[in-house]
């Protein structure tokens, strides 16, 4: 009799927890798997892999481990990705609100574009959430459609920063050939004004994102701008020199750019 009661109570607990966690909204079944960098590692779950990626403990990886495709898909399309993004954006706003700004128009905030201001999740949902090797032809064709939605948390931060008198500068790894479509896309989804939109020119061909973005930030500082904040989804957006007074890392377990 008591065994039946224990089983009944346990069942209620599981159902209750599942409801609280939003498991009924799962895009993929959340099953912790093993894997890191594509190789099986005993007792390492996909959640642990994602945390290690965000902490920059796993670097230089080219694809999401195949066994973690479902987990990453559930994370990106479920509630947690948006919740994590909101925490980052809220912290950035609290910091910005604490600043004593000069009001001379030289206080700027750096935004990355892909997976920071604009989301490519519709593309990656069709390409294994990063478990497929990167295909530049397919991805560039997607970018040229100019239909990338805004990441709502970043758009809200952008608007709040402008209201505080902080100007926005975009620095993106997109090439100059994509300037027009990127400009139109940004404006269509709510990013209506900015100080500068910096795209990667041919002079940086073959260089890493860290070198390119560091150089462009240095140029801004030389022109008298003060980088009060910097937000991006890749560590390469936030490493190097002249990174700004504070940096904020948005989640992105789908790809890695050095």
- What are the Cα distances from residue 60, in Å, to 124, 147, 163, 231, 234? 19, 29, 38, 21, 12
**Residue listed under structure tokens 């996909």:** 46
What are 198's strand-pairing partners? 171
Predicted model pTM: 0.83
Cβ atoms 48, 54 nearer than 8 A: no
d(CA 136, CA 117): 20
**Longest distance between any two alpha carbons in the chain, whole Å:** 78
Mean pLDDT by 10 residues, the chain (258 residues): 44 40 43 44 76 96 95 95 98 98 96 98 96 97 98 98 98 98 98 98 96 98 98 98 98 98
What are 36's strand-pairing partners? 39
Burial environment of residue 98 by CB neighbours within 10 A (0 to 12, 13 to 18, 19 or more): exposed
What b-and-e string marks burial along 221-237, b requiring 16 or more CB atoms within 10 Å of the CB? eeeebebbbbbbbbbbb
């Amino acid at each position: 009799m008591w065994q039946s009661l224990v089983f009944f109570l346990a069942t209620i607990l599981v159902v209750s927890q599942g409801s609280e966690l939003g498991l009924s909204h799962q895009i993929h079944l959340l099953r912790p798997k093993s894997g890191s960098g594509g190789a099986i590692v005993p007792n390492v779950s996909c959640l642990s892999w994602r945390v290690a990626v965000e902490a920059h403990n796993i670097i230089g990886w080219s694809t999401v481990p195949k066994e973690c495709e479902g987990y990453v898909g559930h994370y990106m399309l479920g509630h947690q990705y948006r919740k994590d993004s909101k925490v980052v954006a809220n912290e950035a706003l609290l910091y910005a609100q604490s600043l004593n700004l000069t009001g001379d128009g030289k206080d700027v905030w750096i935004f990355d574009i892909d997976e920071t201001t604009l989301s490519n999740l519709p593309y990656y949902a069709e390409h294994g959430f990063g478990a497929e090797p990167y295909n530049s032809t397919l991805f560039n064709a997607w970018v040229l459609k100019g239909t990338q939605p805004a990441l709502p948390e970043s758009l809200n931060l952008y608007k709040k920063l402008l209201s505080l008198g902080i100007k926005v500068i975009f620095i993106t790894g997109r090439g100059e050939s994509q300037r027009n479509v990127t400009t139109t896309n940004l404006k269509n989804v709510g990013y209506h004004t900015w100080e500068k939109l910096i795209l990667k020119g041919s002079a940086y061909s073959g260089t890493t994102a860290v070198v390119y973005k560091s150089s462009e930030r240095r140029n801004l500082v030389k022109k008298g701008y003060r980088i009060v904040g910097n937000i991006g989804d890749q560590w390469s957006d936030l490493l190097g020199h002249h990174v700004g007074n504070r940096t904020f890392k948005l989640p992105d377990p789908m790809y890695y750019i050095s």
